[in-house]
Amino acid sequence: MQKYLSDINETNLRLPGPVPVPKDILKEQLKPLINHRGEEYKNLLLSCTKKLQKIFCTKNELYIITTSGTGVMEASISNFLSQNDEIIVVSVGWFGDRFAEIATSYNIKVRKLNFDHGQNIDIDILDEFISSYPNAKALYVTHNETSTGVQNDLELISKIAKKYSLLFVVDGISSVASVPCNTDKLGIDVLISASQKGWVTPPGLAFISVSNKAWDYHYKSNSPKYYFDISKYKNYFKKGQPPFTPAIGVMYSLDKSLNLLLEETMPKVYKRHSETAKKIRSQLIEIGFELFPIDENSASDTLTAVKVPTGISVSELINNLHKNHNVIISAGQGNLSDKIIRIGHLGLVSENEIEWLINSLLQTISV
């Protein structure tokens, strides 16, 4: 994968996702379409699933769904819970809130623990909070919160989930394939991710791994489900098929990207992300930005959120970067929209793109 770091794009796309995709991976989508009920697709599906399991670090069953990240978030709720079930949702930002919103729409009783934006999950507070709800069945957390640039400590959180025997569900959409996330070692029952993030693949696919414990929850669940019913994916997978028409072109790209990730080796991929994050953060601070996460040690390796200096308009900054420098970054979300900017650095980021980003920011705030 590293060899594609020199594959420079005309636009420096630094979003939390979708990420820039090298031309060779994109070109895979030009291959002729195949019968998704035939032998060729069966081989593609089995190949991708096996490689995904390696990167998820799991022996659990894993399914590929043609959907967005939010789609697989919904699947992680509708498949394992029933009306009036009680769950714990811990939120440190926009996507933690989304878990709660989806669960509420299924008439799940959500016990929501909120932390201030910029703060990560405090384990002692989490422990005390869960102890107040002995009927809770599951714990839902976001590993990497792209709305605030905070990365939570899954190892500590997993111990709490085990302590209370909760179904442990993790949103790893913007973390898996970019930072270490060992599903089996951490005892994660349901882990989700999506193709447009660290997988360096176009949008369109999402992934969900399911433990034996999660299957027990699934068989007891009476929540409505059809397209996202994992029993359908399980039954069709035995035949080497998806239950519904898949995004075949994106599957081609995913297979190529998975090969490149595993060829590079995941330890090197994680190191590359960590080093890129440190470079970008340190240079942003040097030119006058302040890191948004309260604790620098909890700053994400896939996205950096920084406060905008006083007197600078977030919207004008973003527009000028795009118009004058072909650099695309994100504003904050919700009540942070006019307070922070978010810079994605998951996937592949070259030295040239880092320099391009920092110089463009420096020129823009100096005007």
Q: What is the mean pLDDT of residues 93-102?
A: 95
> What is d(CA 17, CA 11) in angstroms, rounded to the nearest whole number?
14
pLDDT at 3: 64
Does position 8 have pLDDT exceeding 60, yes or no? no
Domains and CATH numbers, the chain: 2-22+266-366 (3.90.1150.10), 23-261 (3.40.640.10)
Q: What is the pLDDT of residues 9-46, one digit of tens each?
A: 689 999 999 999 999 999 999 999 999 999 999 999 99
Q: What is the pLDDT of residues 313-335, one digit of tens each?
A: 999 999 999 999 999 999 998 88
Confidence band (pLDDT; 50, 70, 90) for 309?
Answer: confident
- pTM of this prediction exceeds 0.85: yes
